[in-house]
Structure 1
Amino acid sequence: MQLLSINNIVEICVPLIIILLGTAYPIILNNISNIGEKYHSKYIIALFKQERFYNQSSFQWILYLSLFLLIPLIFKFEPLFGWDNWFINNSANILVSLVTALLLFIFFKWIKKISIYNSNIDSLLDYIIKRYENSNGKTKEYAFMSINDIAIYAVNTKDIDLQSKLLKFYFNYVIKYRKEYNNTDKELNYDKEFYGLIRRIIDECVENNYKDLLPLRYSAINGELLIPYDTQSIKISEDTYNNLWYNITLVRNNTDYISKFWAHSNQYFWTGLKEIVLNFDKSNEKEFKEREQERKRFLEFHYAIGGLLLYSKNYEALKYIFSYSQQSPPDYKLLPYKMRDIFDWIEFFRNENKQIPKFIIGFSRYQFPNLDSVGTNKQVVFWICRYLCVLFIRQYKLSKSLYYSNITNQPYLNDLSLMELYNWKESITYFKFCLNKVLEDKEALEQLELWNTYELKYSEIDKFIIELEQSIDEHISDKKKRAELSQEKIEQFYASSKEILENCLEEYLSINNPEDFDTDFKVTFLGQRTLSNKSFFVDDDIPCMGFDSSLANLISRYSIPRDIYNSFLIAKTNRYLLNNNNLLEGMDRIIQDKEDIVIIVFSGGYETTQKIENSKYKENVIYLPAIDFKNTIFILEKSNLPRIEKSDISEEVKQELQVKKISDKWNIYSTVIDINLPKNEAIKEKWIDDINYYQKENELQILLGLLFVGHIKFKSDRKIIQININNEFEELGTENKLSDLEPL
């Protein structure tokens, strides 16, 4: 057999190149453009374009190279530099042959890849899954999205085998994903594409109203893909809850779909979120508390589902979840067992302080369809609480059963704090409002087979609510009586009072005479005591702004200024009534040529102050507050300023009122006494002015005291001139003539 010459090979290569370029290439391009069209997937073609070496781009470049190498054959160029040997003389033919062989090799490999992407769905899925497992980056992302598109195709074509294979892949994906997060502190959030797939599957099921839930549909509908059974005990993330909630809103009107989800949730709560028993030594306390929070979050979600179903009027689904149990006697895992559970959840949803940051600025994480305006949160809470009221009536239906004979008993309240009891008191009001709305909808209760229960038990229901309100009030009263005063709040009272009173008394040092002197004329100013609400000084009770400063402010803003002002009124030696027009002239007549004078202005009005500030006396003025009078001026020599002295309270008072010294500088003492205690009965009898009023109206009050003794002394031979300013709005009497004024 004679071998082909090099020219014969070229004669074969050239037609091959032409055939590939003119015929095969356009046909293949057409087949490529149809990849993924059958499955309505744009990601399968994108994945195909990620193929390396044996792809369209590689084939194109080799084809272009082969066409370029035909040029030397056509024009038969002479060898360069005079080279003359067999290889050089046949180099163009050799290159064309090699490139053609490479072109054919890539062509057949390319055809094989195309055939895989155009082969039957099972082979294509196997290939894409392998690509997903053995790649990363964009290729891995496109592979996963392609698998998702095939999953939607399998859902719509009812291909059981394909769905089973896909379900196995997704379960492996979930288990592997969860293992990666099992030993980390990160919150487990699946890929957004996975959340999107489940949403698409459910959307397809709802839109086409599929009755027969094949494997993949079933696992998407019942939530098993997002909250699977495993032994890893991984916390459900908020992203997962948000996606589950969206899925529930899609199926809310389909009783069959809701029943599948509820059954899986019931089983998951029973097994996957099984209660952890706290060890005797509390070595597992952290795990115990975390599991409690997880269970509470899971129940919260499912109570919200009940509210959504009631809002959507899906009474068949509600009847199903009211009766669903996997045990005998029946045990309703996701429904309340005791009345305490119902009112705890009403308080949880109603109380906005507990909803933050879960419910932010009226935007609820449990969005109800067609409720998307401002105030949505209130409507959502209203429907969830209505659902809880329905469960409240259901308790009386269950009470007929031997197994549930005690479920309508009054809730245990002893473990609630004062603040929690106050919140419950508010919740009862909201509960009654929601219950009335439920009872107004007789049709809904009839659909839920609860109207007859209400008619038979309405007297018991009314009695229960009345007794619960009374019980809350009694517990509040008892807690308040027995509550101990907060040492932290008492110390805060001491610190605030000290600062306020010291600052107040410091202000009057500007009129204090540095010279000590003997005199029989002095005015005494004292501290005060008062009754205050006990709850202000108790932890976990109704907070009150200013509880720590109210008494000190009263003394500093009223009592002390009044006493200082009154001491000058008593100490004055002469008094005149002028007006703003002749004030300065009158002051000139009184002061004349004296230099060391002081002008003390109590509560000067705007016009009076401006007159003095623009006069030659502005450097001699001291402004002080006054309570009862305005525009009162006292003129005296500096040597006649009063002497302010501190004294001390008696030892008897110190012991009797259990005082604590809070200021050494001014000998200020303070006391906070719970006069409700039997040991303080004598203090209550002696130090409360109107004991009958206290016993009748202010049973739970405490005695506050800020005690000090101060003296304002004036010299016996003093001369102090008082000037009052008359005005058109307040007639003070007959004004003095300027000639009436005597010099200081």
Structure 2
Amino acid sequence: MKYIIEICVGIDIAIFGIAYPIIITEINKIGDKYNSNYLPNIFRLEWISKEPKFKYFNFSIFQYILLTTITSFILLIINAKPWFGWDNIFINNSAELIVLLLTAFLVFCFLSWIRVVTLFNGNPVKLLKYLINKYQNFNGDTETKKYLLRGINDFAFYTIRNQDTHLQEELLGFYWDEFDKDRVDYLNKIDNLKCTKEHGFEELKNKGVEYSAELYDLVYRINLETLNHNNFLTKSLEYNSVSGWWLLGKGFNQVRISELTFRNLWDILILNLGKEKNIKSYWSKAHQYCNYAFTIYPDYEYGEIEPRNKEEIQLKQDERIRFLEFNYTLGGLLLQQNKYETLNYIFNYSSSSPPNYVLLPQSIDDIFYWFIRFSGRSNLRIEEIEVYFKFPNLDNYGVSYKVKYWICSYLCLLYIRQFSLHQYYTFQNHTGFPTLPEGKQELNELLQNIPFFTICLKDIMINKKLLKSVGLNVIVKEKKGEIEKHLLEVEKLVKEKLNYTQEVKEISSTKLEVFENNSVNIIKKALSNYDDILLNYDKNVVYDKSPKLVVNGAIDLMPKSAFVNDDIPHLNFDEVLANSIVSNSIDKYIPSSFTVARTERYLVHNENILNALSSFFNSDTKKEDIIIIGFNINYRLKEILEKSNFDILYKYSTHRLLKDVLFVLNKNDLPRIYKRDLNENEIKKHNLNVISDELKLYSSVLELNKKPKLKLDWINAGYKEEDLNSDPKVQIALSFIWLLLWKKDRRIVQIKISDPSLEQGIESDFEKILPF
């Protein structure tokens, strides 16, 4: 036992004093070889290197075992006698046995520790296989698994830097499995939600597959490494990353691409703008993906017209459009960056014979569809593109018009390209006129975008370097007139169909009824605001012939489409004329009639207004017979008046000169409204119909093209005939004549509040005011 203890002590001291410091040095080097910050943390996940969490100590398991073994030497030093008189071989040699057992355990742990350290500092392929196996079999917390994946990613970057083909073989299989696993998990989630009918199914289905942040970072970092290092031996790893193969998948039975994946793809393409080979790699992969990923065949029930998988077909179509949109945006980016040789490559790339350019327009229809999609005012996609798919040197917000210009210019370049394509099949017509939409709104949008199309097309045609690089210089030289004439013909066809569509459609009786009803309600409500200051007409009253004001209706023009069903919606078409009459006639002339009919006027300061008003009343005045009306009173004056004992009616007027004005009069002197019938000639001329007997309100909506005399009147009034013809108009009328009559014998007192900023004369002496 004596020699055994000496051997144990020697071993323990050797481990503690010699081997331990050497191994610690080796541990500190873990990750340096691979330039990894994650491998040291993964090393600490091994059972022998784990650090149990205690309040005051932070040692690894091996360190605790080593310290415990060294501490057991104290038992040998003390050499205490057995307690309670116990006397047997185990009790008498308990200290030596403890040291022996601890030393044996320490040696076992030390060898395990050495094995792990050797693994992490040894052969890269062996370590990678170990990490992959550990990652795939790990079922613990998510953060630990992320650390393992990040550590494996560091091997991918190391492989590129050191051109290690052995590591590449291991990594390729692993990463294909990882990306496929995320896609399969996404499909399983959709199936589970669909089966259980849980909330979120539609949202997840439309969202698309999103990979982990570690996988997105892997693809971006590999692209970065290939740009910084010459890569000759690890082409497969580079290609899968650069081409977007991992992110897109193989194309068969593919899942929806998420917006997050598109954004990461864009970042990769921006990174590779200076390396033409990488952009070409992406294009060839995208071409293959587009060929297969969006293919879906309708599945019909016997005797049914619509397929059972109608929703799936539409979803695939939406995915295809989104994918093409991304690649047209890429075309705009390449044009903006002057990557003309790359454009030439994508214009001619095809994997079939005869060629089929699936990522490029197949017809003029496609050209205009995409042009309107990117340039249309109602389309917000261009703002999203500005935010998430930034163009270098245009990375400030609010430059969407520049992004739009480059993408639309790329489409104009493709428009020219259509004239260079060969016809391989009888059904192909590369330069045929587009199929025009049926709706007026779509036709108008197309027509409004043609001038912008012309601008972009001219800019492309004068760029000789671009045209020569993409092989279209000869086409432009030979067919420039044909190309320009083709665009003019498209514009002509759009205008003709637009006019025809507008002419054949009849005015909607429903919209006409809505217009009449809302007009009556608006005008009736406006007039009711003056019920307390207007009296009904009395033929027995003697009226003054001089201050006679007229409140009347109005006639205006409006696009015919406003009154046609299934056409461009016009906001407030049923209210705009009535509101205009209220503002420009009723709320203007009824209040201003008081100014015209006044018999006295005074200019008074704010501070004196209450004294001035008091001057109109004495002991003989019947206050209930007197009315005070204030027009457009400011809030400070209103505060003063509301603190007084006077009952004041506050009214609003659109007359710009009627501000801070009070009128004091007897209630019997209020104006009387007389609603007169319209002249028969006027009714006949404008085809007017009574829509309110109470208001004596007439209305009509007439097509100008069917009323030549009315149309001539508008031309004589200054409207251009071509404008009236290009966009058919209707004449809308709301006609009435209201007379505001004042008694001949009246007293109407006007009090104007003085404004220091205006020259209004000397303030009146309100002490001279005579009471009512």
TM-score by length of 1: 0.82
Measured after TM superposition, the shift of residue 710 of structure 1 is: 6.6
- Letter paired with 1:598: I
- Residue matched to 2:56: none
Q: Could you say what secondary structure the match of 1:530 adopts?
A: strand
Asked whether the 8 Å contact 1:128–1:147 carries over to 2, the reply is: yes
In 2, Cα distance between equivalents of 1:106 and 1:33: 19
Partner of 2:394: 371
| Superposed counterparts of 1:681-700, under 5 Å | 684=707, 690=713, 696=721, 698=724, 700=728
How far has the Cα of 1:355 moved from its partner? 3.1
Match of 2:555 in 1: 530
Q: For residues 634 and 31 of structure 1, do their structure 2 counterparts lie closer, same or farther at Cα, with a shift above 3 Å needed?
A: closer
Answer with 371-380 or 459-468: which moved more.
371-380
What is the alpha-carbon distance in structure 2 between the residues aligned to residue 566 and residue 174 of structure 1? 77
Structure 1 counterpart of 2:732, from 689, 700, 704: 704
Q: How far apart, in 1, do the equivalents of 2:612 and 2:67 lie?
A: 113
Deviation string, structure 1 residues 385-408 (Cα, Å, up to 9, x no partner): 222222122111115767796211
1:169 paired with 2:174, answer: yes
Once the two structures are overlaid, the 10-residue window that deviates more, 546-555 or 405-414, is: 546-555
CA apart distance, 1:224: 0.9
**1:508 & 1:389 partners in 2: Cα distance?**
61
State the identity %.
32
In 2, Cα distance between the equivalents of 1:555 and 1:297? 48
What letter matches 1:551 in structure 2? Answer: L
| Structure 2 alignment gaps of length 5 or more | 51-58, 191-200
Q: Is 119-128 or 59-68 further displaced after alignment? A: 119-128
Q: Report deviation, 1:170.
A: 0.7
C-alpha contact 2:365 2:435 (8 A) present in aligned 1:
yes
**What is the CA-CA distance between 1:292 and the residue it aligns to?**
1.9
CA contact (8 A) 1:348 1:355 kept: no
- Which of 392, 399, 421 does residue 398 from structure 1 map onto? 421
Residue matched to 1:450: 472
Map 1:450-529 onto structure 2 (within 5 A). Answer: 450-482=472-504, 493=515, 497-512=519-534, 519=540, 528=553
Native 8 Å contact 2:533 2:670 kept in 1: yes
Secondary structure at 2:747's aligned position in 1?
Answer: strand
Match of 1:24 in 2: 19
Q: Residue in 2 aligned with 1:556?
A: 582
CA distance in structure 2 between the aligned counterparts of 1:89 and 1:676, rounded to whole angstroms: 124
Moved more, 583-592 or 340-349: 583-592
Deviations 1:701-737 (A, max 9, x none): 334344668787888xx73235678999799xxx9xx
Map 1:645-664 → 2, pairs under 5 A: none
One of 15, 18, 40 as aligned partner of 2:35 = 40
Pick which of 492-501 and 197-206 moved more.
492-501
Q: Is the 8 A contact 2:632 2:650 kept in 1?
A: no
Cα gap change, 1:710 to 1:689, in 2 (>3 Å): farther
Cα–Cα, structure 1 residues 578 and 614, in superposed 2: closer, same or farther, change >3 Å?
A: farther
What amino acid maps onto 2:107 in structure 1? L
Tell me the CA shift for residue 628 of structure 1. Answer: 10
Cα distance per residue 1:235-254 (max 9 Å; x no partner)? 10111111111111222233
Aligned 1:340-419 pairs, distance under 5 A: 340-351=365-376, 353-356=378-381, 358-359=383-384, 363-399=386-422, 406-415=429-438, 417-419=439-441
**Residue matched to 1:218:** 239
- Shift of the 152–689 alpha-carbon distance from structure 1 to 2, 3 Å rule, reads closer
The alignment status of 1:244 with 2:265, answered yes or no, reads yes
- Consecutive unaligned residues in structure 1, runs of 5 or more: 1-5
| Maintained 8 Å contact 1:601/1:624 | no
> Residues of 2 paired with 1:590 and 1:14: CA distance?
121
TM superposition shift of 1:272: 1.0
CA-CA distance at 1:47 after TM superposition: 1.1
Q: Is the 8 A contact 1:399 1:406 kept in 2?
A: no
Moved more, 442-451 or 28-37: 28-37
How many residues end up aligned between the 2 structures? Answer: 713
Asked if 2 retains the 8 angstrom alpha-carbon contact of 1:602 and 1:633, the reply is: yes
Q: 1:235 aligns with which of 228, 246, 256?
A: 256
Which string of whole-angstrom CA distances, capped at 9 and with x for unpartnered residues, describes residues 298-352 of structure 1?
1111112222222333322222211111222211000011122222222222335
Structure 1 residue 302 corresponds to structure 2 residue 307 = no
Q: Which of 425, 435, 441 is the aligned partner of 2:463?
A: 441
Normalising by the residue count of structure 2, what TM-score does the alignment of the two structures yield?
Answer: 0.79
2:316 equivalent in structure 1 = 291
Q: Amino acid of the residue matched to residue 156 of structure 2?
A: A
CA distance in 1, matches of 2:357, 2:643: 87
Separation of aligned partners in 2, 1:278 and 1:483: 39
Q: After superposition, what is the alpha-carbon deviation per residue over 1:687-711, rounded to whole angstroms, capped at 9, x for unaligned?
A: 8893765894645233434466878
3-state SS, counterpart of residue 201 of structure 1 = helix
Of 666-675 and 9-18, more deviation after overlay is shown by 666-675
Cα separation, 1, equivalents of 2:378 and 2:351:
36
Give the counterpart letter for 2:464 in structure 1.
Answer: K
Q: In 2, Cα distance between the equivalents of 1:277 and 1:200?
A: 41
Contact 2:551–2:590, Cα closer than 8 Å, also in 1: no
Find the residue that maps to 2:703 and give its secondary structure: coil
The question of 1:194 aligning with 2:215 is answered yes
**Separation in 2 of the partners of 1:615 and 1:368?**
64
Distance 2:401 2:81 in 1: 91
Q: Deviations for 1:65-87, whole angstroms, at most 9, x for unmatched residues?
A: 11111111012123334444433
Alpha-carbon distance in structure 2 between the residues aligned to 1:315 and 1:481: 47
Matched, 1:92 2:90: no
Letter of the structure 2 residue corresponding to residue 367 of structure 1: K
In the other structure, the counterpart of 1:321 is 346
Q: Secondary structure at the match of 2:420?
A: helix
Deviation at 1:500, TM superposition (A): 3.4
- The answer to whether the Cα contact below 8 Å between 2:558 and 2:731 also exists between their aligned partners in 1 is no
Distance 1:339 1:641, change over 3 A: same
How far the C-alpha of 1:568 sits from its partner, in A, is 7.6
Aligned-pair CA distance for 1:446: 1.1
Letter in 2 for 1:215: S
Alpha carbons of structure 1 residues 628 and 16: separation in structure 2 relative to 1, 3 Å: closer
SS in 2 for 1:168: helix
**3-state SS, counterpart of residue 253 of structure 1:** coil
Residues 8 and 100 in structure 2, CA contact (< 8 A), matched pair in contact too: yes
Larger deviation, residues 17-26 vs 137-146: 137-146
Asked if residue 264 in structure 1 is aligned to residue 260 in structure 2, the reply is no
Deviation at 1:562, TM superposition (A): 6.9
Deviates more, 1:689-698 or 1:81-90: 689-698
Asked if 2 retains the 8 angstrom alpha-carbon contact of 1:598 and 1:620, the reply is no
